[in-house]
Chain A
Amino acid sequence: MKNRYDVIVVGAGPGGSWAAKHAAERGVSVLLLEKDREVGSPVRCAEGVSEKGIKEVVTLKDQWIAQTIRGGRVISPGNIVVEAYPDEKGYILHRKLFDADLAAMASQSGAEVVTKAYVHGLLKKNDAVTGVKVLHMGREYQVSGSVVIGADGVESRVGRWAGIETRTPPEKMASCVQMVLSNMDIASDMVEFYFGSQVVPGGYLWVFPKGPRTANVGLGISGFYSKHQKPILYLKKFIEARFPKASVLSLVAGGVPTMPTLKTIVGNGWMLVGDAARQANPLTGGGIVNAMIAGRIAGRVAAEAVLAGDVSSKRLSPYPKEWHTLEGKNNERSYKIKKVVDRLSDTDLDNAAQTLLDIPPEKRTALRLFKTVLFKHPKLILEASKVFV
């Protein structure tokens, strides 16, 4: 670790590694810091991506794919099962290998990667961020950087230290828990989503196969509900009923911000990427591809700003603009849809599921489902109008 870099990235998840790679490719010096001893571990993620999404950001390697998914099942509160086989495939990744490879790709583009490097504060001059304070192997370092990119996840403090409010209210945070299960009777090429106030109030439960007879099984519920009963209790109850013979290979907790992107994600000498910027899709909770899209833009814009000799918030502002056009707008729409879904009762969801059964499986795209359900159930249009108008 040197005293000075052009760009310092805090956090080596997909967003951070992608920002580091895209900055380094433009010839500026880049430091990528990871607080944990190993990039990619622990895996706090359901690991699902769509084919279209992931191919938009990276050329897939076979070894990243745990399981190819050809369809999905939605199970309503009253156990109505709706199957869908969309045109595009999905994948369940091995995030541990995936994340490690992305960091390796960043390093091969010229970034210096340092693990066990905990950033506990920023260096600032007037209202500009000028570097980071790092604890590494029991020693304290102060490293200067022209641009600091905070890709430090849901627990991000880079933005707070830079002077903006990044704190997420509990009702806009999904409190999640996931187990890797083995010895279960499932179709290994189908994902499952469960809904209902008894199983998973104010959220959904997923079963994402990682191979034959093994899957990520997890759920996320809003802070509004986790206050009353903990996600871990809902998950244990579900698994006892649905997969009584399964063994638990791992258990992870986690939080997913389910809100539109923060209003401010750049300032003088700093940027935020991924969960730190609240860029996951608020409806699905999917954040891998979004973080990589944001990282790609942020890394490029940071490098261009360094090369132009101006790292002011104005010079970094193409990043939020491009993000908004590519995904930010979509996230705002997803957030509105989520607010409609949150208003639906178990009966509404059962009625919606029953309606969907009338659409041929090959025509069940998400948007079509949404429109059909609204059309067939005027009460839902009313609910939607409260959110969209």
Chain B
Amino acid sequence: MVLIIPVLRVPEECMKEAVIFIDNERCDFCGTCVGVCPADAIELTESTISVDKKRCTLCRECVDICPLGIPEVLE
């Protein structure tokens, strides 16, 4: 008997589909998440914050530490 295992090709952009989203409208720009980020993936200026998707490992430590609960994982 021959067993056929189907091999699915997953497009690269779908491999890591979740992202950390930090809402700039609600963020206080305090930088606590930057201090705990193991991947140095968060860029904070005076009044903007962004997550570098390429560096982010989705460890969620920014989600856990935020005093206000702003970062979220978008699947």
The chain A residues found within 8 Å of chain B, CB to CB, are: 35-37, 44, 116, 118, 120, 153-157, 160, 167-170, 173, 175-177, 223, 226-227, 230-232, 251-255, 257
Complex CA–CA separation, A252 to B65 (angstroms): 15
- Is there contact, CB below 8 Å, between A257 and B30? no
| Residues of chain B within 8 A of A116, CB atoms compared | 46
CA distance A188 to B28 in the complex (A): 28
Cβ of A177 and Cβ of B68 under 8 Å apart?
Answer: yes
A/B interface sample: 5 pairs, CB < 8 A: A153-B31, A175-B66, A227-B64, A231-B68, A254-B32
8 Å CB interface, B1-57 against A: 28, 30-32, 34-38, 40, 43-46
* Additional A-B contacts beyond A35-B45, A255-B35 (12; CB < 8 A): A154-B31, A154-B35, A155-B44, A167-B37, A167-B38, A170-B64, A175-B65, A226-B65, A227-B64, A232-B68, A252-B28, A253-B66
Q: Is the interface of A mostly helix, strand, loop or mixed?
A: mixed
Number of A-B contacts defined by CB within 8 Å: 88
Contact of B67 among A37, A118, A226 (CB under 8 A): A226
Contact A255 B65 (CB under 8 A): yes
Determine which of B35, B61, B68 lies in contact with A155 in the assembled complex, contact meaning CB atoms within 8 Å.
Answer: B35
**Is the CB–CB distance between A230 and B68 below 8 Å?**
yes
On whether the beta carbons of A253 and B32 are closer than 8 Å, the reply is: yes
| Chain A residues, Cβ within 8 Å of B32 | 154-155, 173, 175-176, 253-255
Contact B34 A155 (CB under 8 A): yes
Residues of the B chain whose Cβ atoms lie less than 8 Å from the Cβ of A156: 35
Does A223 contact B30, Cβ atoms closer than 8 Å? no
Q: A173 contacts which of B35, B40, B43, B69 (Cβ < 8 Å)?
A: B35
A173-B67 in contact (CB<8A) = no
Q: Let me know if A155 and B64 touch, CB within 8 A.
A: no
Chain A, residue nearest B36 (CB) = A170
